[in-house]
Amino acid sequence: MTTNTAARDIVVIGAGIVGMASASYIQRAGHRVTILDPGGPGEGASFGNAGCLNGSSVVPVSMPGALAQVPRWLLDPQGPLVLRWRYLPAIAPWLWRFVRAGTPEKVAAQARALRALLGPTLESYAPLVKAAGAEDLIHRVGHLTVYKSEESFAKDGAAMGLRRDNGVVVDDLSFDELRQLEPGLSRDFVRGRMITETGHVGDPHRLVTRLAEAFARDGGRILRERAQGFEFADGAVTGVRGESGLHRADRIVLAAGAWSKSLARELGDVVPLDTERGYHVVLRDPETTPRHPIGSADGKFFATPMDQGLRVAGTVEFAGLDAPPDWRRARTLLRQAQAMFPGLARDIPESRISHWMGFRPSLPDSLPVIGPSRRYRNAFHAFGHGHVGLAGGAMTGRIVAALVDGAKPPIDITPFRVDRF
Ligand SMILES: Cc1cc2nc3c(=O)[nH]c(=O)nc-3n(C[C@H](O)[C@H](O)[C@H](O)COP(=O)(O)OP(=O)(O)OC[C@H]3O[C@@H](n4cnc5c(N)ncnc54)[C@H](O)[C@@H]3O)c2cc1C
């Protein structure tokens, strides 16, 4: 940790991967940091993601032609993307912005911004991972995308082109090359693509808890409290109201993931933040497991070899923060995993299966909000990382730590500004 003669009191709201990485980087700059979260570290979206540290994930969710897909989403309850009818009025303005974000020019700009944020993922994590003794959780074997037909391989060409335009090296694989890399993969997958620069985490929740342990060891405070609002004086935030009282702060960071919207509003910023809910299923002691994380282009899910077993994660469900999970979606992921890896048992005892649902914090243009609030010079946003918050957490931490010190962030943060909507 560096010694900072101007050590300040910083409150970080949210102990997901984004809040935890931010708090860790701010602490390394020599400040006194308190984190507030009603739950334990990493129990939100950061608990159950697919674990991919993909600096190559530069393709926004809304791509040209998104409008044409909407009717299909509405009609296929088992498809990779569903909308609960009851939630349609609430999500409609978000969807409208989402569709409008998918023009070729906007997509090219979003991809450039995402590459800057995500490209240095592994090196941005490296100092935090080392200090937390978490090297065993980080694997650097690249990842595969697999296709069931030449047609879907060709259809994904535009997205892969966007990656290549941003400096990602993508290798196209034949049927046989794919088998050599992944012998257990079903022969239904006829083509593949390999990206070698990426990594993955053996247990995303444990990564956050290890960062939390190191943070506490180095003097940081983590309080199990919900942030309820702020105190202000002279155009600045002076404290965060928590359940136990007021926490005085010289600077605050809002990193409450999908729950950041109302707190951002209190800071004067109206943001179209919603949630793309996602699911996972974990199979303990799988009969077979892939060597790499594998993304199914057709099924829109990832199968990642993890410490607890094989995790299959994905799908997008628009249903807000309050609706109960629809566990049929996790069962669909399980069936897809069994089809992807024929070596898996057909009847897997429930004792070997666990399910999870989490809330991706999503903005319609697939970019997070990172930067100062419009109204309060000492309040900084760090939320809305959608599908890439694990990969983007560490660079976000570096950015926020620079902002807290009034220094120049390591990358251009203009694309992530809160007033872009
Ligand atoms: C199925 C699935 C697969 C995914 N796969 C990947 C992947 O492979 N790679 C990748 O990079 N990303 C992936 N993601 C996305 C990634 O998980 C998220 O972008 C990331 O976890 C967001 O982190 P966060 O810290 O912003 O939010 P969270 O982890 O949700 O943390 C927010 C925290 O804020 C707390 N909070 C809420 N309200 C308050 C309050 N009022 N006061 C204090 N605290 C509060 C919550 O309790 C929570 O702990 C996936 C997501 C899903 C759902």
240 vs 24, 82, 89, 125, 381, CA distance in Å? 19, 37, 32, 28, 14
Check if 356 has its Cβ closer than 6 Å to any atom of ligand 1.
Answer: no
Q: In what order do the strands lie in the sheet with 229-233?
A: 229-233, 236-242, 245-248
CA distance 371 to 383: 10
Cβ atoms within 10 Å of 274's Cβ, excluding its own: 26
pLDDT band (50, 70, 90) for residue 84: confident
pLDDT band (50, 70, 90) for residue 76: confident
Ligand 1 centroid distance, CA of 25 (Å): 18
**Which residues, other chains included, contact 301 with Cβ-Cβ below 8 Å and sequence gap of 6+?**
50, 80, 295, 312, 313, 314, 315, 333, 336
Ligand 1 centroid distance, CA of 384 (Å): 9
Instruction: Report CA 351 to chain centroid distance, whole Å.
Output: 28
The residues facing 358 across adjacent strands are 278
Output the pLDDT for position 348: 93
For residues 204 and 129, the answer to whether their CB atoms sit within 8 Å is no
- pTM to 2 decimal places: 0.97
Residue among 261, 166, 234, 270 nearest 376 (CA) = 234
For residues 21 and 395, the answer to whether their CB atoms sit within 8 Å is no
Closest Cα to atom 21 of ligand 1? 46
Output the pLDDT for position 2: 52
Alpha helices in 101-149, H assignment, sequence order = 104-118, 121-131
Q: Tokens for 154, please give them.
A: 């060709």
Instruction: Report CA 277 to chain centroid distance, whole Å.
Output: 12
For residues 375 and 10, the answer to whether their CB atoms sit within 8 Å is no
Alpha helices in 267-405, H assignment, sequence order = 328-340, 389-404
pLDDT band (50, 70, 90) for residue 6: confident
Check if 41 has its Cβ closer than 6 Å to any atom of ligand 1.
Answer: no
Ligand 1 centroid distance, CA of 260 (Å): 11
pLDDT band (50, 70, 90) for residue 77: confident
Which atom of ligand 1 is nearest the CA belonging to 386? Answer: 19
CA distance 178 to 172: 9
Alpha helices in 137-197, H assignment, sequence order = 150-155, 157-165, 175-181
pLDDT of 261 over the 70 cut: yes
Check if 360 has its Cβ closer than 6 Å to any atom of ligand 1.
Answer: yes
Instruction: Report CA 235 to chain centroid distance, whole Å.
Output: 32
Model confidence pLDDT, tens digit, residues 391-418: 999 999 999 999 999 999 999 999 999 9
Residue carrying the six token digits 């829109």: 300
For the chain, the 3-state helix, strand and coil shares in percent, each to the nearest 5, are 35, 25, 40
Which atom of ligand 1 is nearest the CA belonging to 359? Answer: 53
Output the pLDDT for position 72: 76
Percent of the residues in the chain that have a pLDDT greater than 70, as a whole number: 99
Task: Please calculate the CA angle 137-284-359 and round it to the nearest 5 degrees.
Answer: 65
Model confidence pLDDT, tens digit, residues 38-48: 999 999 999 99
Closest Cα to atom 19 of ligand 1? 389
Ligand 1 centroid distance, CA of 390 (Å): 8
Residue among 208, 217, 199 nearest 28 (CA) = 217
pLDDT of 143 over the 70 cut: yes
To the nearest whole number, what is the mean pLDDT of the chain?
96
Among 2-6, 72-76, 182-186, the minimum mean pLDDT is found in 2-6
**Which residues, other chains included, contact 205 with Cβ-Cβ below 8 Å and sequence gap of 6+?**
42, 43, 46, 47, 48
The stretch 268-276 carries a mean pLDDT of 98
The stretch 310-322 carries a mean pLDDT of 96
10 Å CB burial of residue 349 (0-12, 13-18, 19+) is exposed
318 vs 66, 163, 276, CA distance in Å? 15, 27, 6
Residue among 401, 413, 380, 384 nearest 21 (CA) = 401
The stretch 96-124 carries a mean pLDDT of 96
Residue among 360, 355, 173, 192 nearest 281 (CA) = 355
Q: Pick the residue with more confidence: 67 or 87?
A: 87
Which among 387, 395, 396, 416 is the best mutation to test ligand 1's pocket, defined by most ligand atoms within 8 Å of the CB?
387
Percent of the residues in the chain that have a pLDDT greater than 90, as a whole number: 93
Ligand 1 centroid distance, CA of 360 (Å): 6
Which among 366, 388, 396 is the best mutation to test ligand 1's pocket, defined by most ligand atoms within 8 Å of the CB?
388
Output the pLDDT for position 221: 98
Task: Please calculate the CA angle 315-383-121 and round it to the nearest 5 degrees.
Answer: 75
Output the pLDDT for position 190: 98
Check if 16 has its Cβ closer than 6 Å to any atom of ligand 1.
Answer: yes
The stretch 368-395 carries a mean pLDDT of 98
For residues 163 and 59, the answer to whether their CB atoms sit within 8 Å is yes
